[in-house]
């Protein structure tokens, strides 16, 4: 198997190399237009540069100009800054003596097993690691997502290619790949069991959820304190604006995996005309749970947009509009007629 530090830095180059495609993962064969000779000047569709797995590392070869060199020297030629980081990581990896398993070693099911040095998140960057002028960093700051939460968000410049390194052949990447914002799902032991991926394309599928383990799709299990009052919202980003919250991807009302459900407040989007949301809220109220019924004058449907429009006391508004029991069901009937 190819050295994981080499694979990590090959993926770092994915957004810089034209027509970058992982053709095979066993052994690894990565194809792109040669950045050294520029590849064919007559045909932009040709890509004759290859990173080929050889003796647990990559070797670069171009079928156009004939350049043949180790991955280390190829990286130095293409991205000198990344090369400096690569040398440091290779050194740290070579002298590492701690063989204890990390929290991301494995999953309880038959899903992918993540070893200490091949955590797939190492192939992409946290938002907190991006340069200040990076467009995705600027997007996150424009959304006013608290900076203290940026380390929980990741950026995959080629989402499908990256997922295929975790689940081989999950996506057909012969077509156009795309960048996505990654929100990993960790359990309370720090084991990643899935992720939510948000598109930056307003015309594409906004969210994709990928699961590595058979369990409810919940973001934030590693951070929530179930022994205190906590909020259950629909979106991972919305949960970052609240002090103690999780997000249930898909917004279903399955509470079987939650602890101290008596401490939970369910917070749906403020869409009284949405029949599906109203149905979920009614189901929760009938089951005896606490639900937030937004006041009719909230400026947006979700928490992030509310915050952007100047509503900064959102948590207080939620608590003050939390209902339960029969009175909650009656208030829900009135709320349905708003909007």
How does pLDDT run along the chain (339 residues), one tens digit per residue?
778 778 878 887 887 788 888 888 888 999 999 998 989 888 888 999 999 998 888 999 999 999 999 999 999 888 877 787 778 767 665 654 343 443 333 334 445 555 544 578 988 999 988 888 899 999 999 999 998 999 999 999 999 999 998 898 898 887 778 999 999 999 988 889 999 999 988 777 888 999 988 888 999 999 999 999 999 999 999 999 999 999 997 645 567 778 999 999 999 999 999 999 999 999 999 999 999 999 989 999 999 999 999 998 999 999 999 999 999 999 999 999 876
Out of 78, 97, 116, a domain closes at 97
Q: At what angle do helices 4-12 and 159-166 cross, to 10 degrees?
A: 170
Asked if residue 197 is part of any domain, the answer here is no
Query: What per-residue confidence (pLDDT) applies to 264?
Result: 96
Do the Cβ atoms of 334 and 284 come closer than 8 Å? no
* Residue 325 backbone zone (phi > 0: left; psi -120 to 50: alpha; other: beta): left
Out of 97, 131, 163, a domain closes at 97
> Which CATH number characterizes residue 282's domain?
3.40.1360.10
Asked if residue 183 is part of any domain, the answer here is no
Do the Cβ atoms of 237 and 143 come closer than 8 Å? yes
User: Residue 111 corresponds to which tokens in the numbers above?
Assistant: 């899903």
Out of 97, 127, 148, a domain closes at 97
Query: What per-residue confidence (pLDDT) applies to 96?
Result: 42
Query: What per-residue confidence (pLDDT) applies to 5?
Result: 78
Query: What per-residue confidence (pLDDT) applies to 315?
Result: 95
Cis peptide bond upstream of 11, omega within 30: no
Distance CA 52, CA 60 (A): 6
Q: Is 249 exposed, middle or buried (0-12, 13-18, 19+ CB in 10 A)?
A: buried
Length of the chain: 339
Asked if residue 255 is part of any domain, the answer here is yes
Asked if residue 179 is part of any domain, the answer here is no
Domains in the chain, number: 2
> Which CATH number characterizes residue 8's domain?
3.90.580
Asked if residue 143 is part of any domain, the answer here is no
Do the Cβ atoms of 50 and 29 come closer than 8 Å? yes
Distance CA 164, CA 101 (A): 24
Global pTM reads 0.68
Asked if residue 150 is part of any domain, the answer here is no
Q: Which of 201, 192, 203 is nearest to 122 (CA)?
A: 192
Q: Using alpha carbons, list the distances in angstroms from residue 69 to 51, 95, 127, 249, 311.
A: 10, 25, 32, 45, 57
Backbone φ and ψ for 90, nearest 5 degrees, come out as -65, -40
Backbone φ and ψ for 78, nearest 5 degrees, come out as -90, -40
Asked if residue 190 is part of any domain, the answer here is no
Other CB atoms within 10 Å distance of the CB of residue 122: 16
Distance CA 7, CA 27 (A): 12
Do the Cβ atoms of 204 and 191 come closer than 8 Å? no
Asked if residue 129 is part of any domain, the answer here is no
- The SS3 assignment for 77 reads helix
Q: Alpha helix (H) ranges present in the chain?
A: 4-12, 71-78, 80-95, 135-142, 159-166, 236-239, 275-286, 303-308, 314-320, 325-335
Domain ranges, residue 6: 1-97
């Amino acid at each position: 198997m190819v050295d994981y530090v080499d694979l990590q830095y090959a993926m770092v180059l994915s957004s810089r190399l034209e027509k970058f495609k992982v053709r095979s993962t066993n052994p690894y064969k990565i194809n792109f237009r040669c950045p050294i000779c520029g590849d064919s000047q007559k045909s932009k569709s040709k890509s004759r540069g290859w990173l080929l797995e050889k003796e647990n590392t990559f070797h670069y070869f171009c079928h156009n100009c004939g350049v043949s060199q180790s991955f280390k020297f190829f990286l130095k030629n293409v991205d000198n800054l990344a090369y400096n980081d690569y040398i440091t990581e290779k050194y740290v990896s070579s002298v590492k003596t701690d063989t204890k398993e990390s929290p991301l070693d494995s999953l309880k099911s038959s899903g992918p097993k993540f070893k200490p040095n091949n955590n797939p998140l190492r192939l992409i960057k946290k938002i907190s690691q991006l340069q200040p002028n990076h467009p995705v960093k600027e997007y996150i700051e424009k959304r006013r997502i608290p900076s203290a939460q940026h380390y929980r968000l990741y950026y995959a410049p080629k989402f499908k290619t990256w997922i295929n390194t975790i689940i081989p052949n999950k996506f057909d990447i012969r077509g156009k790949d795309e960048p996505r914002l990654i929100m990993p799902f960790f359990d309370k032991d720090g084991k990643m069991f899935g992720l939510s991926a948000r598109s930056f394309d307003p015309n594409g599928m906004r969210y994709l959820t990928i699961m590595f383990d058979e369990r409810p799709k919940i973001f934030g299990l590693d951070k929530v304190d179930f022994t205190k009052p906590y909020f259950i919202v629909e979106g991972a980003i919305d949960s970052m604006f609240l002090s103690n919250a999780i997000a249930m991807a898909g917004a279903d009302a399955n509470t079987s995996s939650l602890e101290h459900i008596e401490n939970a407040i369910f917070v749906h989007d403020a869409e009284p005309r949405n029949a599906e949301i109203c149905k979920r809220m009614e189901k929760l109220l009938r089951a005896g749970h606490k639900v937030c019924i937004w006041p009719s004058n909230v400026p947006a449907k979700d928490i992030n947009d509310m915050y952007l429009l100047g509503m900064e006391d959102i948590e207080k508004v939620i608590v003050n509009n939390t209902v339960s029991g029969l009175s909650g069901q009656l208030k829900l009937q009135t709320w349905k007629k708003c909007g």
